[in-house]
């Protein structure tokens, strides 16, 4: 079961609101990335229905970047919106995990549990700290970056889910240092 990145982002924003915390675009971007990685490692299946891209400064989910770039480094104050074509025209709505794939409750509950665990583990990190975690030796983003002799990643390069899954599985198997 996969979800739109916007639905996962909105779920993180809801979790932040519950605790009266704010999220800036970078932190939200990285939380969604970590949720996708841990989901791959734990279930063998992707969380997101869109790819993670390798950009010059780290892994990026394009739809989340596009939706929230207007906030810069400031707290996000709205939810992601999507457009749906209906019989009587076009409507916008806030994608939500509860709305997507309603008939697959097992997958939805597992996915929600993973997202909530990622929130619990990473909510106290800043966006910069989370970004730094994606740049350490052996990370999927750095692996992709190192394949280019000058280290410049061309636009549109996706980070394969298998690479993300392998990295997070290795993290899962390492003894905790915390």
**Domain-by-domain residue ranges, the chain?**
5-173
Mean pLDDT taken over the chain: 89
3-class DSSP assignment, residue 121: helix
For residue 108, the model assigns a pLDDT of 59
Buried b (16+ CB within 10 A) or exposed e, 90-125: eeeeebbbeebbeeeeebbebbeebbeebbeebeeb
Contact 80, 10 (CB under 8 A): yes
Neighbours of 44 (CB within 10 A): 10
> What pLDDT is stored for residue 97 in this prediction?
77
pLDDT average, residue stretch 126-154: 95
What's the pLDDT score for residue 83?
66
Lowest average pLDDT, out of 13-17, 77-81, 127-131, 161-165, goes to: 77-81
pLDDT tops 70 at residue 42: yes
Q: Which of 10-19, 70-79, 90-99, 114-123 is predicted with the least confidence, judged by mean pLDDT?
A: 90-99
pTM of the model: 0.88
Task: Give the Cα separation of 162 and 178 in Å (integer).
Answer: 27
Alpha carbons within 13 A on the beta-carbon side of 33: 30
């Amino acid at each position: 079961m996969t979800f739109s990145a916007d639905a996962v982002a909105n779920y993180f924003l809801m979790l932040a609101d519950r605790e009266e915390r704010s999220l800036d675009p970078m932190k939200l971007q990285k939380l969604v990335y970590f949720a996708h990685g841990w989901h791959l490692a734990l279930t063998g299946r992707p969380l997101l229905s869109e790819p993670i891209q390798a950009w010059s400064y780290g892994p990026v989910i394009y739809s989340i970047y596009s939706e929230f770039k207007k906030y810069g480094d400031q707290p996000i104050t709205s939810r992601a919106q999507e457009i749906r074509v209906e019989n009587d025209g076009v409507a916008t709505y806030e994608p939500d995990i509860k709305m997507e794939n309603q008939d697959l409750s097992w997958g939805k509950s597992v996915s929600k549990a993973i997202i909530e665990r990622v929130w619990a583990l990473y909510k106290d990190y800043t966006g910069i700290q989370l970004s730094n975690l994606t740049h350490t030796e052996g990370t999927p983003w750095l692996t992709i970056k190192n394949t280019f002799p000058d280290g410049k990643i061309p636009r549109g390069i996706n980070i394969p889910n298998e690479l993300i899954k392998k990295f997070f599985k290795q993290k899962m198997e390492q003894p905790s240092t915390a």
